[in-house]
Each structure stands twice: as C-alpha cells, then as structure tokens.
Structure 1
C-alpha cells in the first residue's frame, strides 16, 4: 500500500454514481467516505474532515448549491476543497458555483481520469 493521496467525501444521491466515483478514487489511493445527500454530508463532514468533497448538485433534502454554501460559511469547513459534479452545464450554473466558491466543476457524464486529476490536484493543494 502506498501513501494515501487524501481523504475524499463523495456526496451523491445516485448509488451507482456514488459507487463509481468512490471506486475510481479508492483505486487511485484516496481514502473515500460516502454520503447520500447534502444533509448526510453536513452530518458527517466534521467527523470525516476530508481534503476534498465531490458534490452532486441535484439531490433530495439538501441540494449541492445549498450544501456548498453551508460548507463555505462554516468556520471548520470553509477550507475544504469542493468539486461540483452535475448534469447541469450551463454558464449560469458555472457562475453560481464560482460565486459560492467551489474549487472545480465537472459535468456528467464525467471522464474518470479527469475526476481523478481534479481531485488529486485539489487534495495536493489542501495538504500543502
């Protein structure tokens, strides 16, 4: 086993996509924890303290936009790198994400290699 590249909290209400992201990141050497929606993410984030959160936008209970905003407002969570992963690729959506302060934006269907590269870069930045 090599060194863990970083800890990632994968948040998606679609179990297939959640597992796809988790498996791809695990195989690359990331420690992965999963959450089923924004509420679940916020309940776990302080215990997990991930380097990076991958966050689906369209979820029940609490969507990715509001989850990202709450993460950015939290003293203990505002530094965590956030990647929004969504089927919504309009410029307005990208602008909204950047206004909230997300660190990266990937559109579904995403290329697993691109996901790994983006998460890896953000985890490396988070770890200094």
Structure 2
C-alpha cells in the first residue's frame, strides 16, 4: 500500500487508518516521490492525491499505467475535485476508484480493501 499526498496531516490520517486495518503502508509526498518509491515498495494499491507539487496525481497515474512494471497496481484518486469531467478523465487514464475529499475513512478503507482483494 502506498499513500501519496503532499498534505502531511491527510497522508498520516490515511496511513494510520489503513494500518489499523492491517495494511502495510508506505508514504510518498508527491507524484515524483511515488514514482521513485513504487518499485521498492511494490504496493497492490496506491492512494493518489490529485493536486500536488512537482508531479500531480493525473501525470503520476498516467506514468504508472504506461510502465509495464506498475500498470497492474490499483489506483485510488483522492481529491476535492470530484466533478464529472474529473471522474471521466480518471476513467480514461485507467484509475480504479475515485474518493472525494472530505472523505469518510470507512469508505476509503472499504474501497482499498476491495481493490486489494482483486489484485491478489
């Protein structure tokens, strides 16, 4: 499990909630950090914030999908921008799920659990 968010409070909130559910969690501070760590971590699921410095969530998701070594990883976009065109853009990229901020931690956990089970 790799949690990617530039906001430390949100990153820790997501990580702690997932750890309490038994997930092994690594974190990254932005899209570039995610791409630097993804092979080492080998996550089944990545939660990816959209609005981040250096590399945003959209570009990061595209790069994950383009790389044969990471294209199988499930991606959950977490964003305050949940308009229909954003959801469509995510579908075009191949994002597996979309969670709008502010999010219910239980909903996020259920989404991640479902995707992790599919990737096993």
Instruction: Please state if 1:100 is matched with 2:75.
Output: no
* The one of 18, 26, 39 aligned to 1:33: 26
Aligned counterpart, 2:77? 84
Alpha-carbon separation, structure 2, partners of 1:122 and 1:18: 19
Q: TM-score, normalised by structure 1?
A: 0.93
Offset of 1:121 from its aligned partner? 0.3
Question: Offset of 1:59 from its aligned partner?
Answer: 0.1
Give the Cα separation in 1 of the matches to 2:84 and 2:114. 23
1:103-122 to 2 correspondences below 5 Å: 103-122=96-115
Alignment of 1:1-128 (within 5 A): 8-127=1-120
CA distance in 2, matches of 1:89, 1:54: 15
How big is the alpha-carbon RMSD for the aligned residues of Structure 1 and Structure 2? 0.3
Q: Structure 2 length as normaliser, TM-score?
A: 0.99
Counterpart CA distance in 1 for 2:23 and 2:103 is 18
